[in-house]
Amino acid sequence: MKSKITMGDKNGGDVMGKFWFKRGVLLSVLISLSVVLAGCWNKADKKSSEESAFSQGEAGKDGALEDKVYSNYLKKNTAALDIEDNDKFSTLKLLEKDTKDKEIFLIGEYHYVKDNSSVQLKLLKYFKQKTNFKYFLCETSYLAAKKYNEYLNTGNEKVITELINTEENLEFWRKFYEYNKTLKEEDKIQVVAPDIGNMDNNLNYLIEVLSLKDLPMDMKGDLTLLKEYKSYIETFSNLEESKSGMEKYVDTYLNENKEKFTKLYKSIESKKASYESILKEDYFGFNYVLKNLKDLIKVQENTINYGKTKDFAEILRIRDLKIAENFNLLYEKLPKGKYFGIWGSAHAYQKEILSKEGVKTNNFAAQLNKEGSSLKGKILTIATFYDNCFTSLSGNSQPLSSYKSNKVMDEVIKSKHTLIKLNNDNSPYSKELKWDFVKEPYGKPEGGVTTDYLQYLIIIKNSESDVIINE
């Protein structure tokens, strides 16, 4: 599969274990540490023997709770999912308590698994019905979100053709569009996307915005700098992919690129009042995309470290920090409303995980959930785990089994699609860190308890991969 210079598109996003230099210059690193966890414990309506044992701290020889405590909990907090495209949501009733006081509902996935779309469309409709969320929080860029919103408003698939490259993803958006049409005007869903995008699209957007305005001489100078910078980027993009080209990239491009961009950035920043006056309603988008260009250069620096260490967290940790910054800008700008989102699972954890090498990943949701955040305690994470499935993330169908078979969960998983609630009353997953259902290399917890990271688990079994339609 050919790489686009894109960070985090669901369609081209988060490739785990792959790393490119795009024609010798821009490293299009698409990463997804699809980390998914699970566990459960049900609300007790009356004192039972297992509750009593739990409250007394019944534990094994290492102090950990015994399997039967987990087993008794899971039996009451597991549901086989109906993922048919209908308005019947009885198999999702485990979620109802958590629809009341949360502001952001995140689904964590491993990309390009066929059954994802059916599960997620069902959840989208459920959360819309229960919470009337306003925003679809998408793992893609600000500029891509503009195209998705245009599609939802018009139904013109041409505007999203370049964003979608699998059959299941296309079908998801078609059904999303049809569903959105049935909603009242004030209830229609809007796409919001805080990822940092790619160099080419960001530059083209900035040039286009300025080209449509009647600019004073000093701002015309900035437009000239933008065009010169774009030409500089294209020069390196046309280098032959060779060992010498890569060495030139590492030794020359990064420093030169940073120097040229810094000059451009400072020139624009020094005229902030003029830009606000002339761009008016376009100023926010212009400034936001300019920030993302700056962020991309920082990501490229971390990509060099990734090339040395082969630790994906080198890129993920800076990317997620920038995504969180972007989200906060959008959150403050947009009218208040709830969010429902689909992200690679690593982004959706509410507490930082570690890579195999012990590097923090600065998970997006963890940044929003940190102390002092207005969203602290207001995020719900549902992570998806896979057993005997396939993904086409690398361009060809590849086996995917992120779920690690274990006794207590295996005995309650009775269908292809299973929902497990981790955070019910008296949950053992809220009392200790249980991680025995996660296969390596899907991330490691950094202390705490399981429900610090996520509150629900969906396990998908025996799914085929998405079918690639546009490489």
Copy the structure tokens of residue 168. 């299941």
CA pair distance 86, 67, nearest whole angstrom? 37
CB atoms within 10 A of CB 382: 28
pLDDT of residue 65: 85
Answer yes or no: are the C-beta atoms of 40 and 48 closer than 8 Å.
no
CA dist 443 to 29, 148, 311, 383, Å?
18, 31, 11, 13
CB atoms within 10 A of CB 440: 9
pLDDT value, residue 63? 52
Which of 148-155's residues contact partners 24+ apart within 8 Å by CB, and which partners? 148/173, 148/191, 148/193, 149/190, 149/191, 151/177, 152/176, 152/177, 152/180, 152/188, 152/189, 152/190, 152/191, 155/181
Locate the domains of the chain by residue range: 49-134+335-461, 199-300
Q: Which two tokens stand for residue 303?
A: 């990509």
Q: Report pLDDT for 354.
A: 83
pLDDT score, position 18: 31
Strands 456-461 and 417-421: antiparallel
Q: What is the pTM of this model?
A: 0.86
CA 386 to chain centre: 17
Topology adopted by domain 49-134+335-461: EreA/ChaN-like  fold (3.40.1660)
Distances 459 to 50, 174, 337, 386 between C-alpha atoms, Å? 25, 25, 29, 6
pLDDT at 257: 85
pLDDT score at 55 = 30
- Whether the bond into 216 is cis, omega within 30 of 0: no
pLDDT, averaged in runs of 10, over the chain (471 residues): 35 32 33 28 31 34 77 97 94 96 97 97 98 98 98 97 94 98 98 95 97 96 96 73 55 80 95 97 98 90 72 79 97 98 95 81 94 96 97 93 95 97 97 92 87 98 93 58
Q: What is the pLDDT of residue 470?
A: 67
- Structure confidence by residue, pLDDT tens digits, 20-31: 233 333 333 322
pLDDT digit string, tens, across residues 293-330: 999 988 877 777 676 777 777 777 889 999 999 999 99
Q: How far apart, in whole angstroms, are the C-alpha atoms of residue 114 and residue 247?
A: 39
Q: What is the pLDDT of residue 61?
A: 45
